Structures are given as structure tokens and as C-alpha cells.
Amino acid sequence: MSAVFTSDADAYRQAWNGFKNELAAENVAFSASEFVLGNGDPREVSAEINRLRPDLTLTFGTKASRLATESVVRTPVIFCMVLDPTGMFRSNSAGVMMEVSPETKLQMIRKILPGARRIGTVYSSETFLSYAKILEECGQMGVTLVARKVETEKELPAAVREVAKKSDVFLMLPDTKIYTPASVKAVLLESLRAKFPVVGLSSHYTKAGALFSLDSDYNEVGRQAAEIALRILRGEDPRNIAPMLPRKCRLSVNVAVAQRMGIDIPARIMKEAKEVYGT
């Protein structure tokens, strides 16, 4: 087996440990060659994997996953720890997405902001399916989705301001086309200025100024990837394995943002939070 990491980040190592623990629980022995993408030529990594021809290639993070799904053709690829898997679904690939389900996000919004009846969001052509799922879930929960479509990050700040004026809370979608470090910073600064709460994509966003975020449980993502690995090793075709959503998630909350916006987060929710910022 080959394991390819976008970086040596702790989150990837947690997922890797979950993967190994799940295989150990199933009494499956394996050996792995590990590759961490650095400043060198990533093509050398894919060339080496193609030369080794392992039974499986497991990837962590967007950069490693894109590299493997685009250039590793001789072995099955299992990707994980990816927010936006667009373009990664090939005949030899399967994986676990990092995005928390729309239902889970909306349920948490209801718990933290029970009075929110209008949820705002901005999407592009790349995240239309995510938008459609949120729209469907909003309909089932009896809340209104206020949305605007944009195609460039330059359009994002104005779109967010427009949507926020008509919404009780703004929900970010995992869209690398419109969300860049600069545009995210602009959105969060506008959120604090205009005092509209933002639901971020991860604890990094919460720390930077989102009211709260839901992360996937990294260890559990690794265990889910191991389940896919076992199915492939037992003969199942990767193309027949539907992508998985994370089964567990981790809540992060920014209490300083909540106080600034006059939001009282229930004590039971605070007990659920794995990370609390702004104390």
C-alpha cells in the first residue's frame, strides 16, 4: 500500500491512525510506503507509485488526492480529507468526503440560532450540487434559503453583503473557486462589521471569526477509508462504491464573536464543542 500526504499536518496523521486501527481491528496485516508532498516534483511521487504498483493508494488532502486520481492509473486510489472532490471520481477511485452533511449543518444552526428562519449562502457552478442539497434540506426543515450565484472571488464580497442583508445567518459552502484566503478574510471582516453570523467550513474559520464550524472527525474519516479499502481488497470495483460523507463531526465555537453579536450559545452546545475560541 502507498499512503500519500499533502503535508505532515496532524489532521492527516489522525486520519491515518484511524485507517490503521480499523484494519488492525479486522485483523488485516499490511505494509505501507509513505510519501509526503513537499517542495519537490510531485510527479516523481506518482511515478514511484506507478512503478511500485501497490494494492492500494491512500491519499490525504486535496493536493495529494488530485495528484493520485489524475496520474496513478495502475492501482485503486482511496482519497480522504478533501473538501471539494470535484474531478476526483475516476474508474479506479473512491473516497470519503470531508464535508459535513447539509442536514447536520442545518440542525446545528437550529440549535445555536433557533430563531433563524432565513439562511444565506453564495455558490458557483462548481458547487451547484451542494447548493441544491442545502435548498432541498431547507425546504424540508421549513426555512428559507437566500442564495446568489457568482463565478469569481471578486464577486464574492458584494454577493455576501447582499445576501446577508436578507438572512439571519450566512452558511459557507466548500468552494475553492470563490473562497480564497483573501476572500474568506473579507467575508469574515464584513461579518464582524455588519454583525451577521457566519457558519464556517472548519475550526480554522471559527478561529478566524466564524461563529461556529463543523469539522469531520479525522480519525473516523480514516476508519471509513479503511472500510472502503477492505471492500476493494475483497474484490469490489471502486467505481461501484459511492462516496461517503463523514459519520461524525466536531463542533468549534467562537465565543468572542457570539458576544459581539449578542448571541447566547446554550450551555449544552458549549459542552459539545471540541474547540472554543475567543475566551
**Cβ neighbours for 130, distance < 8 A, ≥ 6 positions apart:** 99, 102, 123, 173, 174, 175
Query: Domains of the chain by range and CATH?
Result: 2-98+217-248 (3.40.50.2300), 102-215+250-277 (3.40.50.2300)
What's the rounded Cα separation, in Å, for the pair 122 and 134? 11
* C-alpha cell, 103: 442536514
Q: Which three cell numbers stand for residue 72?
A: 496513478
Count the Cβ atoms, other than its own, within 10 Å of residue 84. 19
Determine what percent of the chain is predicted with pLDDT higher than 70: 99
- Counting as low any pLDDT under 50, the low residues of the chain are none
For the sheet with 57-60, list strands across it: 33-36, 2-5, 57-60, 77-82, 93-97
Q: For residue 39, what pLDDT is reported?
A: 66
